[in-house]
Each structure stands twice: as structure tokens, then as C-alpha cells.
């Protein structure tokens, strides 16, 4: 399953984590090897710094030479080739028809974030720390509403023109006013961005802005103001835009493949935040409309990096000659991030799904235990939490700190104050009579009546269409539909092409759809775009379920405004309880690891980044391995 994500170390991330949060800058002189002083507050003046993080924690000192997880001697050359597995903005995993990925229109191409630099970039071995790329330093005002970024004079676009503060200010305001809703809605409290001179940009934020907003802004792509004086930013276009990043667009085969070429004289190649990275001469993304065709292409060597998301294929599909001969190797890499929010999202904008009893009844018809055993080879664990595989997950009864947030909220169901809700385990038969009986009772309580073999709600037959862009989940969905049918609910699967799928999601034209959202280790204001009331009515937003709850909004504010990691953890656990009680989704499963199949041509650091796979950013082409298997 493709991942929806929302930020990155180089602009907006292709799904490897949520938009990282951040406010506090370390005190001057505090960024020592052991880390920065944590827990800075809104009202404190921080002074000029080389980095910033959510709570003032920095691992790397001002004069650091490189990140610990890179190989500074990594060779350069060769090609990385894979598929897009994580999407953001207007991207589709199955096709593309535009190189403009930062607006709502069109189906955006993979990898375009590689062509743009940002003010700062993430350290992938810290929860949320940023260090300067285009910006050599940053300074916050005492009230936290004004951030001054001082730029490196050598920053330049690919045509040789200087990247100035004017370009930064132009880009930030353009994304706020005309960018894709996943960006514009998150940064709407950025009041202004002004170039004081070529090397200084001042960003002002509205009072009450989210804690994480300065870090989000610092990671957004920087565009050329001169280029967009002659081009329509909102247009769908296949013309490569002028960038400043480590790669530029190379060969484009629309809808089939896109290739990026490393910029040999990239202005930032020797900066500490770049050492040991961007090692491939070419990075290529292949597109296939069918997963089986894609797998056959991988087996034939059409591309060489594959992350396997299908347990059946992982268990039974890798018996082809290249594996037996050692030319293709398999490995698993632990994933320390929260495992994300994967499930069938229920569109509560539709009248028949507004009652949580109906939504819970639908969820009870999915037999995870049978599905995991019979379809997924026992490879997964059932997801229960919106912050699975992390300390942010609510467990047991609320703590005193959680209750302090929950008790003032109105109209919460009593279960929020008890044990955190977990989907019940079935007997593994595929048709657990006790769970189906409970589902039938809930539907009757919600006002459903049986008319022959049809269940009706408010006089209309209760029917469910599962919308998807790929048939890969059909084996999991068909047994689900059979159980719905036992209750008198007609279920169907509608698989559409990528463009139609994205258009329907943008317009919220679906009953249930499957999706996984990546979750960062420091959630912040970006979560409003997935769970907030305002986003529920914003076309193209990530709020698939249409969640519009004052209680959820209040807890999202508590997350966005948390002043310490302890406060953040408490707020996330409280939100987890409320969301789980809302039955907004039918949770699926997670594994907590990356399953990788690779043609044996790659090298990677022995101790890679904790919070990211690091491919392709810190991997490299290994010529000796490639020669051994005949792939030079």
C-alpha cells in the first residue's frame, strides 16, 4: 500500500513521515556534542543558531562535519532505480502527467523534490532537528513570531543565477496562497515573508500559530521568482522547472518513467548536511499500472530496488533464478518510526456513515485474524492506534495528565475515559458469529431495519463501495464484503484508473477507501490537515474520513502547542483515545520493518539513519557487487 506523507529533509517529503514539528532554537553556545538545552519556551529569545528542533534539542554542534549515519567516502556513480511507494501532494503511484507536484491539478511525477533545495534539512537520526542548507543560520524573536534566516551567498539555481532571499519569500507566499492543500492549509498562519536584502529573509507568523510551523516552513521547496514571472505556477506542465537541488530532471517518459541526473557542481555538495549523500549519477522511478506486471519487471531487472508491501509475495514470490543465484538479495530493516495509520477510511460526510454505531458495525465484519493467517502468512499485527509502534499510542486507562485534557471536552463517549478501544480479535474462522451478532445489534440500534435480505437505513438500502486504484487488496476485501452481506449490506469493489481515483478523492466522492498515512515521531500542526474540522471541507485534503469534531480540534491544538516532549506525548495519547472512539476507520495492520528486495548492486551505511530508510539519499552504487552479478 502506498503511503501518504507530508514533509521531508528536502522540502515536502514523499511519505516518510509527517511534517516535522518545531519551535525552539537552542540558546547561543548550547549546541554541544551532547545535545542542546531542551524545553525552550515561546517567550524566550534564542539568538542565532545553526539549527532548530521542536524542543531545543540538537545532537550536532555548530561546526559538525557530517551526519553520523552517512559514509563520507561513499563512491559516486551508477543508477538507483525503483518505484514510487510514498506519495504527497498531487502524486499518484501509478502514473504521472505533470512535473508540478506542489499544486492540486494533475498527477505529479515522483522525485521532483530532488530538484529543489530548502532553507534547512532534517537530521534523520534525530526526532525532528533541522540544520542549515540554504540558510546558514536562523534566529527567533522573543515571542516566537518572527524568524530571521540568513542565507549562504553561494546558494544558486541550476542556471547559475544566485538564490536570494527574494526567491525564498516568493516561494513561501506562493505555496501558502496557491500550493496544494496539504501545504497551504498547514502554513496558513505564516503571515508574511520579506526579503530584507539578498541574504536575509524574515518570516512572520500569526499570533497563536502552531509550534511546528517554523520548521515546516524551513523545509519547503525554494522556487526561482524569475522563472515563475514567465510561467504559471498553478498550471499542469511537463516543462522541468528551474531548481537548485542536487538533481535535475533528465529523461521523461510520461506515465512510464522519469529520470533525474545528479548536478555535478551542485553548490551545496560539500556542506555538512550534504556530505556522503546524493551519490547516484541517475535516479529513476518506474511506473506500472499493475503490481503483478511491476513485480515481473523487477524480476527481469527493469528496476533494481523494491520495497515489498505484500506478505504473500514476500513469502512465496521470491523463488526466481536471480534470487537462487544471489543476484537478488532480500533483507529487512527495522523502522523506528510510528507505523502509520493504515486502514479503510469511512467517509462520514455521507449520511449513512454518520452514526459511529454503523461505522463500528462495518469494522466488526473485517476478520483480521483469518485474513492474516490465510492471506498474509501471519506477517502482520493488527493496528489499533493512530500512533502504532510508538510511545504516542494510548494504552490502558487515561493518565492524570490525559484526563486534564479530556475532562473539559464536551460530548465525549464514556469509553474515552476507560481502557483505550482496541478492535476485538475474532475466532479466526472468517465469520465470527459473536462479532457479527454484535454488529447486527449495533446496526439495529442505529435505526437499520431488515427488508428481506437487504438492510435499510432511513428507507435506503445500506450499500458500500470500496474505492481503490489497485486490485492488490481485493483478496482481503472480498471476505470483508461477504461478512457485510450476511448482515444485509451490499458491498462492491470499484477499481479505477489513477487520474479518476485522485479526482474522486479530491472531491471526497467515495464510501470507503484504503490508505496509509505516515506518522512522524514529533507530530504537530500538520495533523490538522488529516483530522481537523477545516480540512474536512477542503477539497484535496488528507481528511478522508471527514472528521469534524470540536474535541479533536482542541486536542490537535494541544499537540501543536505542546511545550515539551512529555506534553506532546500526553496530547497524542488523548487524541488517540478520541479518534479510536470515533470509529472513523477500519484499522488494518502493520509490521514495523521495511522488507527490501535488491539487485545486489548497492552499498549502504552499516549504521543507517534511525528515522528513515535512507534510500536513495545515503546509499551508493557498489561497482564490485555490480560486476559480480553482471550489472555494470
Sign for the CA dihedral angle at 93, 94, 98, 99 comes to: positive
Beta partners for 328?
Answer: 599
Residue 150: is its pLDDT beyond 60? yes
Quick: pLDDT tens for 201-219: 999 999 988 888 999 999 9
CA-based max dimension of the chain = 75
Closest among 245, 42, 280, 281 to 158, alpha carbons compared: 245
Tell me what the mean pLDDT of segment 368-378 comes to. 95
Residue 389: is its pLDDT beyond 60? yes
pLDDT for the residue 339: 86
Residue 2: is its pLDDT beyond 70? no
pLDDT for the residue 46: 54
Residue 195: is its pLDDT beyond 90? yes
Residue 44: is its pLDDT beyond 90? no
Percentage with pLDDT > 70 across the chain? 93
pLDDT for the residue 338: 86
Stronger pLDDT, 40 or 289, i.e. the higher one: 289
Give the Cα separation of 551 and 542 in Å (integer): 19
| Burial per residue of 72-99, b for 16 or more beta-carbon CB atoms within 10 angstroms, e otherwise | eebeeebbbbbbbbbbbbbbbbbbbbbb
Beta partners for 378?
Answer: none
Tell me what the mean pLDDT of segment 299-318 comes to. 94
The CA-atom distances, in angstroms, between 426 and each of 371, 415, 437 are 11, 21, 12
Q: CA angle, corner 49, sides to 48 and 54, nearest 5?
A: 120
pLDDT for the residue 557: 94
Stronger pLDDT, 569 or 540, i.e. the higher one: 569
Task: State the DSSP H helix or E strand holding residue 504, giving kind and residue range, or none if neither.
Answer: helix 498-506
- Cell numbers at residue 69, please? 549515519
CATH number of the structural domain 341-590? 3.10.105.10
Confidence of residue 101 (pLDDT cuts 50, 70, 90): very high
Confidence of residue 239 (pLDDT cuts 50, 70, 90): very high
Tell me what the mean pLDDT of segment 151-157 comes to. 98
Tell me what the mean pLDDT of segment 318-331 comes to. 97
- Cell numbers at residue 111, please? 522525485
Give the Cα separation of 540 and 532 in Å (integer): 14
pLDDT for the residue 296: 97
pLDDT for the residue 517: 86
pLDDT for the residue 193: 98
Tell me what the mean pLDDT of segment 610-625 comes to. 96
- 219: exposed, middle or buried (Cβ count in 10 Å: 0-12, 13-18, 19+): buried
| Domains 1-335+593-632 and 341-590 belong to one CATH topology | no
The domain segmentation of the chain, as residue ranges, is 1-335+593-632, 341-590
Topology at the third CATH level for domain 1-335+593-632:
D-Maltodextrin-Binding Protein; domain 2 (3.40.190)
- Cell numbers at residue 386, please? 493512530
pLDDT for the residue 632: 83
Residue 30: is its pLDDT beyond 50? no
pLDDT for the residue 340: 80
pTM of the model: 0.80
Neighbours of 400 (CB within 10 A): 7
Give the Cα separation of 158 and 236 in Å (integer): 22
Residue 596: is its pLDDT beyond 70? yes
Mean residue pLDDT across the chain: 91
- Cell numbers at residue 49, please? 543558531
Question: What DSSP designation does 475 have?
Answer: H
Closest among 589, 570, 585 to 523, alpha carbons compared: 570
- 280: exposed, middle or buried (Cβ count in 10 Å: 0-12, 13-18, 19+): buried
The CA-atom distances, in angstroms, between 177 and each of 102, 205, 502, 536, 540 are 12, 15, 22, 19, 15
The CA-atom distances, in angstroms, between 492 and each of 75, 464, 547 are 51, 6, 24
- 148: exposed, middle or buried (Cβ count in 10 Å: 0-12, 13-18, 19+): middle
Quick: pLDDT tens for 263-289: 999 999 999 999 999 999 999 999 998
Cα dihedral value 501, 504, 509, 514, nearest 10: 40
Residue 35: is its pLDDT beyond 80? no
Give the Cα separation of 216 and 343 in Å (integer): 26
Q: Are 497 and 523 in contact (CB under 8 A)?
A: no
Amino acid at each position: 500500500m502506498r503511503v501518504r506523507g507530508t514533509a521531508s529533509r528536502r522540502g515536502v517529503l514523499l511519505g516518510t513521515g509527517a511534517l516535522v514539528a518545531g519551535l525552539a532554537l537552542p540558546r547561543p553556545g548550547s549546541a554541544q556534542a551532547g545535545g542542546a538545552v531542551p524545553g525552550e519556551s515561546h517567550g524566550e529569545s534564542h539568538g542565532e543558531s545553526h539549527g532548530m528542533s521542536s524542543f531545543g534539542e540538537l545532537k550536532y554542534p555548530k561546526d559538525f562535519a557530517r551526519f553520523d549515519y552517512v559514509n563520507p567516502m561513499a563512491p559516486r556513480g551508477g543508477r538507483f532505480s525503483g518505484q514510487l511507494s510514498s506519495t504527497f501532494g498531487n502524486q499518484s503511484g501509478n502514473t504521472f502527467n505533470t512535473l508540478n507536484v506542489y499544486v492540486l491539478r494533475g498527477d505529479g511525477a515522483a522525485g521532483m523534490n530532488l530538484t529543489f533545495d530548502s532553507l534547512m534539512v532534517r537530521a534523520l537520526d534525530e526526532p525532528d532537528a533541522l540544520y542549515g542548507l540554504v540558510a546558514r543560520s536562523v534566529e527567533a524573536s522573543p515571542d516566537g513570531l518572527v524568524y530571521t534566516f540568513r542565507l549562504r551567498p553561494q546558494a544558486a539555481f541550476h542556471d547559475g543565477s544566485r538564490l536570494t532571499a527574494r526567491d525564498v519569500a516568493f516561494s513561501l507566499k506562493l505555496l501558502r496562497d496557491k500550493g496544494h492543500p496539504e501545504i497551504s492549509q498547514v502554513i496558513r498562519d505564516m503571515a508574511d515573508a520579506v526579503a530584507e536584502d539578498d541574504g536575509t529573509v524574515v518570516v512572520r507568523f500569526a499570533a497563536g500559530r502552531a509550534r511546528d510551523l517554523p520548521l515546516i516552513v524551513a523545509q519547503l521547496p525554494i522556487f526561482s521568482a524569475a522563472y515563475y514571472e514567465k510561467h504559471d505556477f498553478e498550471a499542469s506542465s511537463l516543462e522541468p522547472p528551474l531548481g537548485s537541488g542536487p538533481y535535475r530532471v533528465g529523461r521523461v517518459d510520461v506515465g512510464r518513467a522519469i529520470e533525474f541526473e545528479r548536478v555535478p557542481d551542485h553548490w551545496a555538495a560539500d556542506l555538512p548536511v550534504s556530505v556522503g549523500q546524493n551519490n547516484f549519477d541517475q535516479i529513476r522511478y518506474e511506473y506500472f499500472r499493475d503490481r503483478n506486471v511491476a513485480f515481473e519487471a523487477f524480476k527481469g531487472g527493469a528496476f533494481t530496488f523494491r520495497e515489498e508491501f505484500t506478505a504473500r509475495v514476500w513469502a512465496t514470490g521470491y523463488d526466481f533464478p536471480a534470487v537462487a543465484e544471489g543476484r537478488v538479495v532480500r533483507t529487512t530493516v527495522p523502522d523506528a518510526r510510528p507505523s502509520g495509520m493504515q486502514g479503510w477510511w469511512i467517509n462520514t460526510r455521507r449520511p449513512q456513515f454518520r452514526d459511529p454505531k454503523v461505522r463500528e458495525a462495518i469494522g466488526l465484519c473485517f476478520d483480521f485474524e483469518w485474513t492474516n493467517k490465510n492471506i498474509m502468512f501471519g506477517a502482520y499485527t493488527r493496528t489499533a492506534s493512530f500512533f502504532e509502534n510508538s510511545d504516542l499510542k494510548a494504552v490502558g486507562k487515561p493518565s492524570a495528565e490525559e484526563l486534564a485534557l479530556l475532562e473539559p471536552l464536551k460530548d465525549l463517549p464514556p469509553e474515552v475515559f476507560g481502557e483505550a478501544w482496541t478492535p476485538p480479535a475474532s475466532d479466526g474462522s472468517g465469520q465470527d458469529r459473536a462479532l457479527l451478532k454484535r454488529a447486527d445489534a449495533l446496526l439495529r440500534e442505529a435505526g437499520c431495519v431488515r427488508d428481506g435480505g437487504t438492510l435499510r437505513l432511513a428507507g435506503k438500502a445500506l450499500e458500500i463501495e470500496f474505492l481503490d486504484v489497485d486490485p492488490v487488496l481485493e483478496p482481503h476485501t472480498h471476505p470483508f464484503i461477504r461478512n457485510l452481506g450476511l448482515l444485509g449490506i451490499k458491498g462492491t469493489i470499484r477499481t479505477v484508473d489513477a487520474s479518476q481515483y485522485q479526482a474522486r478523492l479530491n472531491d471526497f466522492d467515495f464510501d470507503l477507501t484504503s490508505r496509509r498515512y505516515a506518522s512522524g515521531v514529533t507530530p504537530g500542526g500538520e495533523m490538522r490537515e488529516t483530522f481537523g474540522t477545516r480540512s474536512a471541507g477542503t477539497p484535496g485534503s488528507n481528511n478522508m474520513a471527514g472528521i469534524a469534531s470540536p474535541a479533536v480540534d482542541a486536542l490537535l491544538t494541544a499537540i501543536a502547542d505542546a511545550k515539551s516532549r512529555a506534553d506532546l506525548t500526553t496530547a497524542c495519547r488523548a487524541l488517540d483515545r478520541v479518534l479510536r472512539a470515533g470509529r472513523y476507520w477500519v484499522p488494518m495492520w502493520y509490521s514495523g520493518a521495511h522488507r527490501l528486495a535488491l539487485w545486489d548492486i548497492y552499498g549502504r551505511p552499516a549504521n543507517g539513519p534511525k528515522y528513515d530508510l535512507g534510500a536513495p539519499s545515503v546509499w551508493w552504487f557498489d561497482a564490485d557487487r555490480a560486476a559480480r552479478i553482471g550489472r555494470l
